Amino acid sequence: MSEPAIRISGLHKAFGRNLVLRGIDMKIPRGQVTVLMGANGAGKSTLVKVLCGVHQADDGTVMLGDTPFKPETPSEALHSGVVTVHQNINDGVVPDLDVASNLLLDTLASGGGTFLKRRQMRARAREIAVAVGLDIDVTLPVASLALADRQLVAIARAMAHDPELLILDEPTSSLSAAETKRLFEMVERLRDKGVAILYISHRMSDIRRLADRILSMRDGQIVQQFEQKPLDYAGAVRAMLGHEITEVDITIPANGKPVLELRELVLREGAAPFTMTAHQNEVIAVAGLVGAGKSAFAGVLFGLNAPVAGTMLLDGKPHKPRSSGDAVAAGVYMCPKDRLVNAVVPDFDITANITLPFSRRHSHPGGFLSFRSERATANRMIGEMGVICQGAGDGILTLSGGNQQKVMVARWMAEASRVLILDEPFQGVDIQARRDIGRKIRETAATRTTIVFVAELDEALEVADRILVMSEHSVVGDHRNEHIDVSAIMAQVVEAGAARAAG
């Protein structure tokens, strides 16, 4: 193994009674990509926050090269050469500033750019963007960018620092295939320059492409490391979970009555119309590349935007929601992607986050909320979804990202619906949590139709009775999840994406 950029020995961190890091021992060598795998709640994010100065460890030592490293602020960590791109994109960008200001934010914050002229700032920002292959107008406000572009801005800002240690926490969760390829090329260039890289991911496609070594984390400890080639990916998953992961066996039920009927639906100007029917007890997965129109499709069903043309029927009656409130009143619920921007209420506890849309159902006749009713629902969903927490009164931000995601899914599964829309419900969750959520989706599917928008084909295969492929804001493929030809679906997804790029 090459020289370690960082050595960690006996690191402990607790939040109240909750011991999160239990004696972490690990080394991150220069010129290699070290992948850190761990189930949700294993302590990965806490470890990262200690390394980047957000939290201070209670005990243990960290050596950066030959120097003790104990940053008290993120700025101190940054100036020491430890650069982090967090899973929460808004931790890496300031939405109210333009792209140029974001790319130069650390220079400006340190006072080095106090008297920079706007033209000089933009020129320097363009240099940074070009260096990392980011093709974007640096005058645009970050708030106006798509999620994937915000992610790339955060990554570009990090890459501009010539880091000693670069930490990437689930960096591809919002990126298209082309953007992911560009990120991989950036990472490989930095690795070849001798930068130490700690890469946190649940995506096996990322891990297989980049990993030089794998560390498996469980219950706040590094339980096993894998360095011998070829790397034992199955062993790494087994080590992080503490048990074997079983295969999912889908039994497709007979279709119930039609619940949602879409006829010649057009999602945006120029898109091809499509027709489909979703039945009671059916779970449909919708796959496609970033930009294929999945979120636009979900938004039309949930009343966030109107279709250009076509009709929608819900239980045989016209479905024309003018708002999300209309959709919820009709029994159409949606769990959105990007939970921290669109779903989580940071100041609320778990109970209030779960029951928020259905407060009236937990109210006394006089209009006062019934705490007992809310808490009973929250406790039921915590148990059913396997949320790891101290109790229903915990603040939502005290949970790991994966457990926050379980709470957001629980919110919309706590009450009966006619159509349940889940937009990337597996984002940022480990394989076991993914299976837990998927199992809960199928167990409760009998009384509704369920539409799950997925980022990975594996997710679709594990949860769906039927898989639709989207491209150019239209449905271009329909596959029953039985004796399925995975290569045919992948070819359809890739060909559709290639056609879009060529056009």
Structural contact between residues 360 and 366, judged by C-beta atoms closer than 8 angstroms: no
Structural contact between residues 92 and 85, judged by C-beta atoms closer than 8 angstroms: yes
438-462: b (≥16 Cβ within 10 Å) or e? bebbbeebeebbbbbbbbbbbbbbb
322-347: b (≥16 Cβ within 10 Å) or e? eebeebbebbbbbbbbbbbeebbeee
Fold type of domain 4-211 = Rossmann fold (3.40.50)
pLDDT of residue 8: 95
pLDDT of residue 18: 78
Reported as a single tens digit per residue, the pLDDT across 395-404 is: 998 887 788 8
DSSP string of 237-295? HHHHHTSPPPPP---PPPP-SEEEEEEEEE-STTPPPEEEEEETT-EEEEE--TTSSHH
pLDDT of residue 88: 67
Q: Minimal CA–CA distance to 295: which of 187, 146, 173, 491? A: 146
Reported as type and span, the H/E element at residue 203 is none
Q: Which residues of the chain have pLDDT under 70?
A: 1-2, 88-91, 107-116, 174, 176, 244-247, 338-342, 364-369, 494-503
Reported as a single tens digit per residue, the pLDDT across 454-465 is: 988 888 988 999
| Secondary structure of 351-382 as H, E, C letters | HHHHHHHHHHHHECCCCCECHHHHHHHHHHHH
Give the list of residues 6+ apart from residue 240 with CB closer than 8 angstroms, or none: 37, 38, 39, 42, 216, 217, 218, 223, 430
Q: Is 298 helix (H, G, I), strand (E, B) or coil?
A: helix
Residue 352 has which token pair?
Answer: 């209030």
pLDDT of residue 429: 79
Fold type of domain 258-502 = Rossmann fold (3.40.50)
Residue spans in the chain of domains classed CATH 3.40.50.300: 4-211, 258-502
DSSP string of 38-51? E-TTSSHHHHHHHH
Give the global pTM. Answer: 0.69
pLDDT of residue 212: 96
